[in-house]
Amino acid sequence: MAAVPHMLIERLEKSYQLHRFIPGQNQEALAFVAPDIQAIVANGESRVTADFLARFPAVRILAVFGVGYDGVDVGAARAQGISVTHTPDVLTDDVADLAIALMLSAARAVPAADRFVRAGKWLEGGFPLSRKVSGSRLGIVGLGRIGLAIAQRAAGFQMETSYWARQPKPLVPYAYYPSLQALASSVDILIVSTVGGQPTRGLVNAEVLDALGPHGILVNVARGSVVDEKALVRALMNKNIAGAGLDVFTDEPRVSEDLLGMDNVVLTPHIASATLETRIAMSDMVMQNLAAHFEGKPLISQVPYE
């Protein structure tokens, strides 16, 4: 699990008395100060359960460093009078950029081609042909801020974009498929950019991957939980799909040995929002939300209560 970055910790330390919680390590020390803690900062992957929150009776704000807050029990936070904030918008471009990078890398086999050159194999012959991206059909799973930014970029590649979402989006020029399987069967590349958590768990399952088909490529920049990873491994092994580009995993930072061994899979370590510029902007948002809370002003990016 990624920790809150050092740049944010340094800024928090300048304004607040900071206690760092390292799961499985300093629980007793933290229990000692827990009644006095007024705010919690977590990252997008943090698991913040009702039991955890119950240990901090004075907390009134939980600021998530990330757009996704699927690890937070928002209902429990609400019941305890805790406002939850996150960092939307500032990371949209970066996540969409990485989705396109993974799409191109997987379809054009860029990392495999790089390994090929470095291993001196070029001297023995040419590299196998890859798949054309420009003009191909793109399916987007979840057309929120990030999905829309991916669609805009895909337009530059003359891709025909369609999407699945829990509800159709008004006023978008892309075809809506109420069935994810039907979407998968009519595209070449499927990019997952939907929210994580219970509503989307295992959404991309064996049937969806089968529908994507032997020339299809799957990209995931959302959450590992959205894809049935065992089904994905089987689909890749049996060549039911052609390849994948993955930034998120079921049990990250542990990545399945099967995926590690596959040449047609491009793997990145949950870095979609990890540029210096964006991480500074995300840190700014966390600081601004905390400051607003302690000054009694409206929060700048509170998550909706479900």
Is residue 68 at the binding interface for ligand 8YV, with CB under 6 A as the rule?
yes
Residue 203 CB, nearest distance to ligand 8YV (Å)? Answer: 17
Q: Which residue in the list 86, 153, 270, 279 is annotated as catalytic?
A: 270
Based on the shown chain and the rule CB under 6 A, indicate whether residue 67 belongs to the binding site for ligand 8YV.
Answer: yes
In the bound state with ligand 8YV, the residue whose beta carbon lies nearer, of 252 and 258, is 252
Determine how β-strand 137-141 pairs with β-strand 189-192.
parallel
Closest separation in Å from C-beta 96 to ligand 8YV: 13
Q: Does the protein bind ligand 8YV through residue 43 (CB under 6 A)?
A: yes
Residue in the structure block whose two tokens are 């070029």: 122
Q: Does 253 sit behind a cis peptide bond, omega within 30 degrees of 0 on the bond before it?
A: yes
**Residue from 273, 283, 289, 301 binding ligand 8YV (CB under 6 A):** 273
Q: Which structure tokens are listed for 123?
A: 């001297």
Q: Is 91 in the site for ligand 8YV (CB under 6 A)?
A: yes
- Please report whether residue 192 would count as binding ligand 8YV according to CB under 6 A: no
Asked if residue 270 binds ligand 8YV (CB under 6 A), the reply is yes
Q: Catalytic one among 86, 223, 279, 293?
A: 223
**Which parts of the chain fold into alpha helices (H)?**
6-15, 27-33, 50-54, 74-79, 92-107, 110-118, 145-155, 180-185, 206-212, 229-237, 257-260, 276-294
Question: Is residue 105 part of the contact set for ligand 8YV (CB under 6 A)?
Answer: no
User: Cα separation of 144 and 152, whole Å?
Assistant: 12
- Our finding on whether 2 is near ligand 8YV (CB under 6 A) is yes
| Between 65 and 116, CB nearer to ligand 8YV | 65
218-232 burial string, b = 16+ CB within 10 Å, else e? bbbbbbbbbbbbebb
- Element spanning 192, H or E: strand 189-192
Note whether 71 binds ligand 8YV by CB under 6 A.
Answer: no
- Length of the chain in terms of residues written: 306
Closer residue to ligand 8YV, CB minimum distance, 223 or 293? 223
Q: What are phi and psi of 173, to 5 degrees?
A: -85, 20
Q: In the complex, which residues of this chain contact ligand 8YV (CB under 6 A)?
A: 2, 43-45, 65-68, 91, 270, 273
Residues annotated as catalytic (active site), given as ranges: 223, 252, 270
